Structure 1
Amino acid sequence: MIREMTLATRLTLAAQAGLAACADQDGMCETASGGYHIELPEADNPPLVVFLHGYGGTATGTMKNRSMVEPLLARGYAVMAPEGAERNGRQSWNFFPGWEGRDEAAFLTEVVQDASNTFGVDTDRVVLGGFSAGAFMVYYLACAAPDTFSAYVPVSGGFWRPHPEACDGPVRLFHTHGWTDNVVPLEGRLLGGGRFHQGDIFAGLEIWRVANECADTKPSGFSTTGQFMRRYWTGCAEGSALEFALFPGGHGVPKGWADMMVDWYEGLPGG
């Protein structure tokens, strides 16, 4: 089994198969439905953070965010950046129900399995994150199929209007958002001359509380981590987790997010 091999052996086999470029920023792993970049920690069978770029972004651009990638690698996590498919001439994600395009849930499952087969990442410990349009994708996948991945960690993105009537649960989700975000404001905004309407982040949190069968709407507690102001809900369904963190900046992945997110994930049962 390739998962039982050492990291050096896996990389040697990958090189022999012409896949060595998959493990650095200069090449891309290819699957039937698309491609991805991946970087590996100095560990066997590592957990994996899959992070989806925003509208018009690229997998390469995600991996260039070293303030996010390097802390994850240092904590023993492999980092994957899948490539979005073309939408309206730019790379993005087919997240909204009813849109035509690539089956993104199938694609993301495919690339994670490919990374497991090739590099031995642990498919039982996969965290799906994303920024902006990537976070939209995280929200909708977690809503429709929360068991697909171990946890969901969207940054600066949520549902669009009309909000889903309901989501499946339980889900383990940690949402991070900028207080002064004007691209995806907390209250949402109109796009495309009014054809599309970003949703309200707090309305989305209500949908997650219902999915997780939380006993109360008010937060169970508050904390701060550096610049992050955090609130969480307990007394919810077994196997669920829900937390929200605000930071004082705008539309971006803030410094310190990676370590905060890993601390949260590793504090969950089975994390």
Structure 2
Amino acid sequence: MIREFSLALALAVTGQIAFAGCAGQEDTCEIPMGAYHIELPDADNAPMVVFLHGYGGSGSGTMRNRGMVEPLLERGYAVMAPEGLERPDRGGTKSWNFYPGFGERDETAFLTEAVQDAARRFGIDTDRVLLGGFSAGAFMVNYLACESPDTFSAYVPVSGGFWRPHPETCNGPIRMFHTHGWTDNVVPLEGRLLGGGRFQQGDIHAGLEIWRDANGCVDHKPTGFSTTGDFMRRRWTTCAEGSALEFALFPGGHTVPAGWADMIVDWYEGLPGS
């Protein structure tokens, strides 16, 4: 099938399993605004998770996180890992244009172009595409969702929210599941100062309040609590029709935790209309 062909071709080309490329081809998928990697499940018209790497990371690095990618493929989801723009002022380090001065590319247009390209080339179901990201990628997820909430079906950031000053308001409603490590010291729950105080990461709980407002939630208090393995989850459900907001903490630091992929798919497939 498609996945087995992709792995076999990678082995033939490199002599070892290479988890990157364009659905089995060694090179990335090139589009006018950038590039992306993609792996496909054994299914047609598949849903997809687009996952944005962190600061200094890469799309190929994202695809090497097999603890995240393999469960998504097994659940029938394609996995796309776009490449951030290189920053010449940082020696070619890659990141995302979510904050003034971080780049010039219109990331919403780029990601939309990438999804449309994947739909044309690989038959992706564009009505079932989730946007996730880690760290700087998660910051990008939040800012894109804030400005253009209808771009993706749902948003699933890990270890990243907003920067200070926080947005005064966000467009909505949205469907979001935010995951964060209790001991994260790179993007602490309270935020931190960077660049000698020139930049300030935002407070994750303040961001959740912004999302409750965007979703028209009638109360700040969660309406439900649950656990999934080590994940401690809380949700808000007395909100606008079609919205969803959930937050999960895990007892770890700055990472995409084990079990995240299955938890996110279970959440998404439990939403009305998904």
TM-score (norm 2): 0.90
- AA in 1 matched with 2:53: H
CA–CA separation in structure 2 for the residues paired with 1:177 and 1:103: 27
Provide Cα deviations, 1:131-160, integer angstroms capped at 9, x if missing partner. 000000000000000000000000000000
Measured in 2, the distance between the counterparts of 1:234 and 1:217 equals: 11
Is 1:233 the counterpart of 2:236? The answer is yes
1:96 positional shift: 1.7
Q: Which runs of 5+ in 2 are unaligned?
A: 7-20
Once the two structures are TM-superposed, the CA of residue 270 in structure 1 deviates from its matched residue by 1.4
The match for 1:17 is none
Deviating beyond 3 angstroms after TM superposition, the runs of 4 or more aligned structure 1 residues are: 97-100
Q: What whole-Å deviation, never above 9, does each CA across 1:13-43 have from its counterpart, x for those lacking one?
A: xxxxxxxx51137320000010000000000
Q: Does 1:151 align with 2:154?
A: yes
CA contact (8 A) 2:2 2:41 kept: no
Q: CA deviation at 1:86?
A: 1.3
Match of 1:102, as an amino acid?
R
For 1:61 and 1:235, the matched residues in 2 are separated by: 39
Correspondence 1:205-244 to 2 at 5 A: 205-244=208-247
Q: Do residues 32 (structure 1) and 35 (structure 2) align? A: no
How many residue pairs get aligned? The number is 256
Matched, 1:132 2:147: no
Q: CA deviation at 1:236?
A: 0.2
Looking at structure 1, the residues matched to 103 and 254 of structure 2 have their Cα atoms a distance apart, in angstroms, of 27
Secondary structure of the corresponding residue to residue 22 of structure 2: helix
Quote how far apart the aligned CAs of 1:100 are.
Answer: 4.4
Distance 2:42 2:213 in 1: 40
Deviation of 1:99 after TM superposition, in Å, equals 5.2
Q: Please name the residue that 1:167 is paired with.
A: 170
- Checking the alignment, whether the CA contact within 8 Å between 2:84 and 2:94 is kept in structure 1 is yes
Partner of 1:184: 187
Counterpart pick for 2:99 among 88, 96, 99: 96
User: Once the two structures are superposed, what CA deviation does each residue of 1:199-255 show, in whole Å capped at 9, x if it has no partner?
Assistant: 000000000000000010000010000010000001100110000000000000000
1:250-271 per-position Cα deviation (integer Å, ceiling 9, x unaligned):
0000000000000000001111
CA offset at residue 98 of structure 1?
6.9
- Determine what percentage of the aligned residue pairs are the same residue: 77
Segments of 5+ residues of structure 1 without an aligned counterpart are 1-5, 12-20
Question: How big is each residue's C-alpha offset from its partner over 1:113-148, in whole Å with a ceiling of 9 and x where there is no partner?
Answer: 000000000000000000000000000000000000
User: In the aligned structure 1, how far is the partner of 2:83 from the partner of 2:41?
Assistant: 21
